[in-house]
């Protein structure tokens, strides 16, 4: 029976309004239900999970519906990893110019030589860090990539903590849970960093 | 002379196209230039800074233009803090129901009692953490707020590192730099956490 819900029940289960569900169906963010008559269709647990994922990506991940569509298409296409699925958002600054290339070189030296981390040469996080550095400079601060050393040290500790925790927050069964885990880890880290700073700044 | 740039020079300085600049002007994201004739206006350093801020908020912060508009309006209105300015985005899940209230109670107990942090009762980060917890549960994981302990410990260390660093990444002169610092800290933390995890997972 749980796989034969009318849209009203799907709305109750998911917390989404019927209008929102119909909008997502029109936009192709969810598969259509099983048609049971000229005017009715029924929905299943896969729709409940999909609505939960959309809600997480928009409200916790801050993605636009267009970005959500890209991530869901990547998931449905069976990409290899959560990083790849979220990389489909393509939100990053595509600018390629000498200033960007210089920042990226600084990041590569920092990650590969200074930190000594083994990270894929084409990991999107490298460009993300370069653009974060450029953003600081655009705001008028003359800083080098070393400004991010506190975050690098904390990231190293954090991963150790994750791996030693009784329940690794990044543990996930399947691609969808992996995507949720990444989005949640970013949101939780950000929220706790803000609160820790408020606590310390008094 | 730097305060009397034609739009072409403003585009060169900022890296934005003339079409983009005209769009931002129409959308009210930037003040108009100084009109010098029926068809020409000139722009100043404030416009260069504003374009840099918009670029950072969209590409590093992942904000939509509508969200950027809210943050800029808050900055222009002279809100008290970067947290308040970024809180204007209102991206968070506004749902208030027993399930959300329960998650929020767990977060409050974790932050106030377990961690013992002094954080404002209405800090938006509390709701953010509650929604992160709900997102994990919606994905099918039966977890408590303690799942976030690794992030809490890392956040505590991180703030110590920030405050002891030769150049505190969160140091900022004025509201705009403060907003940039917060957006950059989130992006840099996320990027470095992903790279640290990749390094450790091998």
Averaged pLDDT in 10-residue chunks for chain A of 202 residues: 84 94 95 91 94 94 90 90 80 74 97 96 92 94 93 91 84 89 93 92 78
Strand segments, DSSP code E, in chain A are: 34-35, 41-42
Helix, strand and coil percent figures for chain B, each rounded to 5 = 65, 5, 30
What's the pLDDT tens digit per position in B128-150?
A: 999 999 999 999 999 999 999 99
**Contact B52/A138 with Cβ under 8 angstroms?**
yes
Interface-testing mutation among A139, A143, A153, A178, with chain B (most B C-beta atoms within 10 A): A139
Mean pLDDT in residue range B8-20: 94
B2 pLDDT above the threshold of 80? no
SS3 of residue A35 by DSSP: strand
The closest alpha carbon to A180, from A73, A95, A99, A68, belongs to A68
Task: Find chain B residues with C-beta within 8 A of A149's C-beta.
Answer: 161, 165
In the prediction, which pLDDT does A165 show? 82
- The ipTM of this complex is 0.89
CB atoms within 10 A of CB B132: 31
Least confident of A64-78, A142-156, B80-94, B164-178: B80-94
In the prediction, which pLDDT does B94 show? 66
State the nearest Cα–Cα gap between A24 and chain B, in angstroms.
18
More confident residue, B172 or A132: A132
B63 pLDDT above the threshold of 60? yes
More confident residue, A99 or B22: B22
In the prediction, which pLDDT does B165 show? 82
The closest alpha carbon to B154, from A91, A186, A155, A187, belongs to A155
Interface-testing mutation among B114, B191, B201, with chain A (most A C-beta atoms within 10 A): B191
Cβ-in-10-Å burial (0-12, 13-18, 19+) of A185 comes to buried
CB contact under 8 A, A188 and B132: yes
Mean pLDDT in residue range B162-185: 88
Task: Find chain A residues with C-beta within 8 A of B120's C-beta.
Answer: 198
B167 pLDDT above the threshold of 90? no
Mean pLDDT in residue range B143-161: 92
């Amino acid at each position: 029976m749980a796989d034969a819900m009318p849209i009203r029940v799907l709305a109750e289960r998911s917390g989404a309004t019927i209008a929102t569900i119909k909008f997502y169906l029109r936009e192709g963010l969810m598969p259509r239900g099983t048609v049971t008559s000229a005017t009715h269709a029924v929905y299943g647990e896969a729709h409940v999970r999909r609505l939960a994922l959309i809600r997480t990506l928009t409200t916790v991940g801050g993605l636009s519906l267009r970005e959500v569509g890209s991530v869901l298409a990547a998931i449905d296409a069976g990409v290899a990893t959560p990083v790849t699925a979220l990389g489909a958002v393509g939100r990053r600054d595509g600018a390629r110019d000498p200033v960007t290339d210089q920042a990226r070189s600084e990041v590569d030296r920092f990650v590969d030589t200074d930190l000594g981390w083994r990270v894929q040469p084409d990991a999107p996080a490298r460009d993300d860090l370069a653009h974060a550095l450029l953003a600081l400079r655009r705001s008028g601060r003359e800083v080098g990539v070393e400004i991010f050393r506190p975050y690098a040290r904390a990231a190293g500790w954090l991963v150790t903590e994750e791996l030693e925790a009784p329940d690794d927050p990044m543990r996930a069964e399947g691609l969808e849970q992996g995507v949720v885990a990444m989005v949640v880890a970013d949101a939780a880290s950000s929220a706790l960093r803000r609160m820790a700073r408020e606590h310390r700044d008094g």
